[in-house]
Structure 1
Amino acid sequence: MPTEVEGTHKIGDVSLYTKTWLPDDPPKAKLIWIHGFNDHINRYYGLFPYLASRGIATYGFDQRGWGRSSTNQSDWGLTGPTSLVVSDIASFIRTQLPSSVPVFVAGHSMGGGEVLTLASDPQYEDLMPQIRGWILESPFIAFPKGYEPSFLKVFFGRLAGKLLPHVKLYNPLPPENLTRDPAVIQSMNEDKLLHGTGTLEGLAGLLDRAAALQAGETKLNKGVRAIWLGHGTADKGVSYEASKKWFDDQTQVQDKEFKTYEGWYHQLHADLPDNRDVFSKDVADFILARCGEEGRVGGGSKL
């Protein structure tokens, strides 16, 4: 059984809730996980315990405005601009560096778009040689067909985000669009930490990050070494096709893998009880195949 450790990560006068899943033996690798919109780090079911059983330590935190980092209702959705969102992630990554074992960074949905933004920002180019690989679960690069907001809604939303950044908007994603598991849908409806509230500034930032990725304006730093991207074809939260196109466009990265999950929904880690371990194994296999001589435990080839 993994050892679970709760804590806080202090950034200025803000304390972000953190949680770590440690394997019984010294870890072979470290994984830093960034959660998605209207989510928190304790909603990843068996993924992190499974990774710990394979010797991978996972480190996560609730982002500003979400989960246990949002201590009262007035904090809900107060993520700040993209520059602050990305600097929070970079700050948390630095707590695990330097490392004697390989470090990987993962993001789900909104978190996937955030880590890609970080990996493309020249300001954080110094981190690239220290990150062995980047893992993306259903990253938000575009809305799926049939679920796109209108042009006018997006335009005026971005404009309002600049003029009235802290105005809040209740905008949850329907749980039935995210997973096929009725038990997970029920738990999402009952989870008091899933408040579904974003600010106009935060939502505008989310849209801008996705638009820049989709248009190819956000370009990965040269030091990015490896990418793994998994996406379900029946995703109703974000676009499978946009993920595949973005991935195919990253011709400068030689070590990359794209995994299609036929018929799966948005939360690959919590889609159906009889298939979510497949996703967990795919993530673990990608990580461990890139440890080799770099990890504390020998075996495997060095890629």
Structure 2
Amino acid sequence: MDESELEYDGHGGVIRGRRWSGDAPADHVVLVVHGYGEHVGRYPHVARRLVDDGAVVYGADHVGHGRSDGERVLVTEFESVVDDVHTLEQRARDENPGLPVAVVGHSMGGLIAARYAQRYGDGLACVVLSGPVLGSWGAMEGLLAADEIPDVPIDPSTLSRDPAVGEAYVADDLVWHGPFKRPTIVAMQRLLEAITASGPVDVPMLDLHGEDDRLVPMAESRAGWAAIRGERSSERSYPGARHEIFNETNQDDVLTDVVTFIRSHLPRREAI
């Protein structure tokens, strides 16, 4: 698998990302949309699985995340982040003319991907959401109610049953290990409300969630999912799995579900 770096102008400065491709010509594009406080450099194993199934994969660090410009984890307007993802899609389409495009979003990236489906779904083959923040999020509401945001980082044990995942997360200098910032939470709440108010989308969507997700509880997320779920959407959950299902002990099964869903919504491959 070949990996190359890319950058482009986003709403808050330079956005930096990565492109993954294989030796064989790709027959579709996948955009990976990462979660809060992290970066796309944590997704090469996801990209490899997608590339092995015929994709060329693009991902970019959101404003204030990873290697992109901006104050760390400060997002004052998520609709602008959605616009940044659209710029990435346009870049991918320019480099891969005629190929269908799918989107895979995790956690906060699932929130962004859900809004992306509402705004730009007409041009997509399908969307996959992994542990998305949808509907209501009790942790966020608790932070907004506090007079001062506590300086408590995300508990790495909530990410995966594999302790090595949490250890790598803690050791990653590009991951934000500080407190949430109030403007970011307020902006996230606004986007949650906008998504719920906009209702179902027609683009095929797959919602995947760990049943032991303590960071973004499945019950809260699925309540929001019900408001946007279209007729061509489906969902699946994984017993015992925690928040980062792409990094879970059953990640092979999860990624199989992802590539199977994407493949089922692509134009049929022509026989050689």
Partners of 1:7 and 1:246 lie apart in 2 by 34
Contact kept? 2:79, 2:191, Cα under 8 Å: no
In the other structure, the counterpart of 1:278 is 253
In the other structure, the counterpart of 1:202 is 184
Contact kept? 1:29, 1:288, Cα under 8 Å: no
Q: Aligned residues: percent identity? A: 22
SS of the aligned residue for 1:80 comes to: coil
In the other structure, the counterpart of 1:226 is 204
In the other structure, the counterpart of 2:133 is 140
Residue deviations 1:121-161 (CA, integer Å, cap 9, x gap): xxx4xx332111111000012336xx5653xx42467xx9x
Contact kept? 1:38, 1:172, Cα under 8 Å: no
Contact kept? 2:161, 2:248, Cα under 8 Å: yes
Partners of 1:80 and 1:271 lie apart in 2 by 31
Q: TM-score, normalised by structure 2?
A: 0.88
2:72 alignment partner AA: W
Q: Shift in Å at residue 64 of structure 1?
A: 0.6
Partners of 2:56 and 2:233 lie apart in 1 by 22
SS of the aligned residue for 1:112 comes to: helix
In the other structure, the counterpart of 1:81 is 77
- Identify the match of residue 144 of structure 2 among 154, 177, 180: 154
SS of the aligned residue for 2:51 comes to: helix
- Identify the match of residue 197 of structure 2 among 204, 214, 217: 217
Unpaired segments ≥5 residues, structure 2: none
In the other structure, the counterpart of 1:255 is 232
Q: Shift in Å at residue 212 of structure 1?
A: 4.7
Name the Cα RMSD after superposition. 2.5
Q: Shift in Å at residue 220 of structure 1?
A: 4.1
Q: Shift in Å at residue 104 of structure 1?
A: 0.6
SS of the aligned residue for 2:197 comes to: coil
Give the 3 Å change call, closer, same or farther, for CA 254–244 of structure 1 in structure 2: same
Contact kept? 2:241, 2:248, Cα under 8 Å: yes
Unpaired segments ≥5 residues, structure 1: 161-167
SS of the aligned residue for 1:234 comes to: coil
Partners of 2:214 and 2:182 lie apart in 1 by 22
Q: TM-score, normalised by structure 1?
A: 0.79
- Identify the match of residue 107 of structure 1 among 105, 108, 113: 105
Q: Shift in Å at residue 170 of structure 1?
A: 4.6
Partners of 1:196 and 1:180 lie apart in 2 by 20
Residue deviations 1:249-293 (CA, integer Å, cap 9, x gap): 446x22222111111000011012xx1111111111111111133
SS of the aligned residue for 2:133 comes to: coil
- Identify the match of residue 129 of structure 1 among 111, 122, 138: 122
Q: Which moved more, 1:13-22 or 1:231-240?
A: 13-22
Partners of 2:12 and 2:107 lie apart in 1 by 28
SS of the aligned residue for 2:15 comes to: strand
Q: How does 1:231-250 map to 2 (within 5 A)?
A: 231-250=209-228
SS of the aligned residue for 2:199 comes to: coil
Q: Shift in Å at residue 84 of structure 1?
A: 2.0
